[in-house]
């Protein structure tokens, strides 16, 4: 892994891309709470919204930008001076400007490539002139399916005009690691081509999850030297969404040693907040954050995990401030029951008694329920009274 970038910046776009999930909208006070948590966790950039979408979104971006967060607060904008004006009125320190570069798409905007690139350059120069310390990102939309020459042309002109970041958008989740359409090669080639032109903007990757490969592609881009990775809470976003923030952070911290300054133990609180106000439940088997992410169930697993959790865990739950758990149901064995009896302080350690409890636990489990510790106490009392 010779080309791994030692430090990567993290951009959260729950408040912008996440709100492109049909039906999802966060009130201003909830947006502020989400931004504060993202800031506490240590995100570098918080994309707070696209102010041109509604007045209320513009107000929310302004509120978040005014909080003096450690994170850089950003807005999204089309390649239009009017969008830039609205964003800058909000006081953002980061601006993402997007415009497609595929000829077929541009014909729908009644534009040729040269004209589109001129517009992009002008809008970037305009933004930079208004606010010289603004970090500007240019995204050639659907970059990976557009002509590479067009992307290089637009990216180079954007960098000349002052863009600090070029974002490679896999807008449709098209890339697949290990095939000829892979983000590792794409980012490597892009960096080489820009370097040949003496340009070195930071490279960001924005990966959609249409094939379930958003995270794999983002890591591919990172290994090739991408310096910024976009993600959102629960991977919320257009269609199948984008890279999930918690999984990305856990892998970057645990497996790539990419950061040591993040407060990952705040992630569960963030996820529950976003889940509650998006109205979207966190699936129980969701990695890292889901209720069952560190729960052992089958008897064989539980028996071994009770001796050493690493037998059936490759990620330490304490990384996000969580603990391993044991679930009791029809898959349980005697070890799980004995462990749970100990948890509730049961003094009867008789094997025959534990076997009767196990039988009852399996009976309940077959009805599609797990036995929690409160129900276990009822079972213990009931069976004790029977004997
Ligand atoms: N740069 C400049 N103009 C762009 C553009 C870009 N990157 N992408 C699209 N446009 C233009 C289109 O050409 C079209 O303009 P036209 O109607 O003059 O041809 C317009 O933006 C989009 O069409 P439509 O949505 O019908 O226009 P609208 O004026 O009613 O609404 C928004 C525009 C942005 C307010 C509205 O689409 C919206 O709220 N969008 C949500 C945010 C969004 O779409 N984000 C995409 C993130 S990738
Ligand atoms: Zn997107």
Lowest-pLDDT choice from 16-25, 63-72, 108-117: 108-117
CATH number at residue 256: 3.20.20.70
Ligand 2 center to 172 CA (angstroms)? 8
- Which atom of ligand 1 is least distant from the CA of 100? 7
Nearest CA to ligand 1 atom 27: 53
| Res 331: pLDDT | 97
Give CA angle at 302 (298, 305), nearest 5°.
140
Q: Name the residue at shortest CA distance from atom 4 of ligand 1.
A: 78
| pLDDT tens readout for residues 21-35 | 999 999 999 999 999
Cα 236 to middle of ligand 2, angstroms = 10
State the ligand closest to the CA atom of 76. Answer: 1
Report residues whose beta carbon is within 6 angstroms of any ligand 1 atom. 50, 52-53, 78-80, 98-99, 109
pLDDT at 235 over 60: yes
In sequence order, what DSSP letters do the residues of 42-78 get, joined into one string? Answer: T-SEEEEE-TTS-HHHHHHHHHHHTT--SSEEEEEEE
In a domain, 115, yes or no: yes
224 shares its domain with 316: no
1: pLDDT strictly greater than 80: no
Element (H, E) at 361: helix 351-365
Give the model's pLDDT for residue 5: 46
> Among the three residues 245, 278, 311, which one is the final residue of a domain in this structure?
278
Average pLDDT over residues 246-267: 97
What DSSP letter does each residue of 79-129 carry, written as one string? SSHHHHHHHHHTT-SEEEEEEE--HHHHHHTT--HHHHHHHHHHHHHHHHH
| 228 lies in the same domain as 323 | no
The domain in which residue 324 lies consists of 295-386
Residue 244 has pLDDT above 90, yes or no: yes
| Region 284-297 average pLDDT | 97
Residues with catalytic function: 301
Taking the CA of residue 76 as reference, the ligand 1 atom at the shortest distance is 47
Tell whether the model's pLDDT for residue 280 goes beyond 50. Answer: yes
Using a CB cutoff of 5 Å, list residues around ligand 2, an ion. 17
**227 and 337: one domain?**
no
Asked if residue 225 and residue 328 are part of one domain, the reply reads: no
284 lies in a domain? no
Give the number of the ligand closest to the Cα of residue 237: 2
For residue 99, the ligand closest to its alpha carbon is 1
351 lies in the same domain as 247: no
Instruction: Identify the residue whose C-alpha is closest to ligand 1 atom 21.
Output: 78
* Residue nearest atom 9 of ligand 1, based on CA coordinates: 78
If one counts every other C-beta atom within 10 angstroms of the C-beta of residue 55, the result is 10
Domain count, the chain: 2
What is the dihedral sign for C-alpha 347, 348, 351, 357? negative
Q: Ligand 1: which of 18, 49, 78 to mutate, judged by most atoms within 8 Å of the beta carbon? A: 78
Distance in Å, CA 327 to ligand 2 centroid: 37
Question: Does residue 266 sit in the same domain as residue 303?
Answer: no
pLDDT tens readout for residues 145-197: 999 999 999 999 999 999 999 999 999 999 999 999 999 999 999 999 999 99
Query: Domain check: are 254 and 208 in the same one?
Result: yes
Mean of pLDDT over the chain: 96
Of the pLDDT bands very low, low, confident and very high (cuts 50, 70, 90), residue 387 is confident
């Amino acid at each position: 892994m010779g080309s791994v970038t030692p430090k990567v910046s993290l951009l959260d776009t729950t408040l912008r891309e996440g709100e492109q999930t049909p039906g999802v909208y966060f009130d201003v006070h909830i947006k502020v709470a989400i931004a504060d948590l993202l800031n506490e966790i240590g995100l570098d950039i918080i994309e707070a919204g696209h102010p041109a979408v509604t007045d209320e979104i513009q107000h929310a971006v302004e509120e978040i930008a005014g909080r003096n967060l450690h994170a850089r607060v950003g807005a999204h904008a089309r390649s239009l001076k009017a969008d830039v004006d609205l964003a800058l009125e909000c006081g953002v320190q980061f601006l993402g400007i997007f415009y497609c570069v595929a000829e077929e798409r541009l014909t729908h905007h009644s534009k040729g490539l040269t004209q589109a690139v001129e517009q992009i350059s002008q809008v970037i120069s305009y933004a930079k002139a208004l606010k010289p310390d603004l970090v500007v990102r240019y995204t050639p939309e659907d970059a990976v399916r557009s002509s590479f020459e067009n992307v290089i042309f637009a990216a180079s002109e954007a960098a000349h005009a002052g863009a600090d970041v070029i974002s490679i958008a896999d807008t449709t989740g098209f890339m697949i690691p290990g095939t000829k359409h892979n983000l590792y090669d794409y980012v490597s080639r892009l960096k080489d081509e820009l370097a040949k032109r003496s340009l070195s903007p930071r490279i960001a990757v924005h990966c959609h999850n249409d094939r379930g490969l958003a995270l794999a592609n983002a890591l591919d881009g990172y290994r090739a030297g991408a310096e910024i990775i976009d993600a959102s809470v629960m991977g919320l976003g257009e269609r199948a969404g984008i890279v999930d923030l918690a999984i990305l952070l856990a892998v970057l911290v645990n497996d790539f040693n990419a950061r040591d300054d993040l407060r990952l133990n705040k992630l569960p609180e963030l996820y529950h907040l976003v889940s509650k106000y998006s109205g979207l439940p966190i699936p129980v088997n969701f990695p890292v954050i889901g209720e069952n992410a560190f729960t052992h169930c089958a008897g064989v697993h539980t028996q071994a995990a009770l001796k050493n959790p690493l037998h059936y865990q490759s990620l330490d739950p304490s990384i996000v401030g969580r603990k391993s758990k044991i679930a009791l149901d029809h898959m349980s064995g005697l070890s799980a029951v004995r462990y749970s009896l100990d948890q509730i302080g049961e003094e009867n350690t008789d094997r025959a008694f534990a076997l009767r409890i196990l039988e009852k636990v399996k009976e309940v489990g077959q009805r599609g329920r797990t036995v929690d510790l409160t129900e276990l106490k009822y079972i213990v009392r009931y069976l004790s009274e029977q004997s």
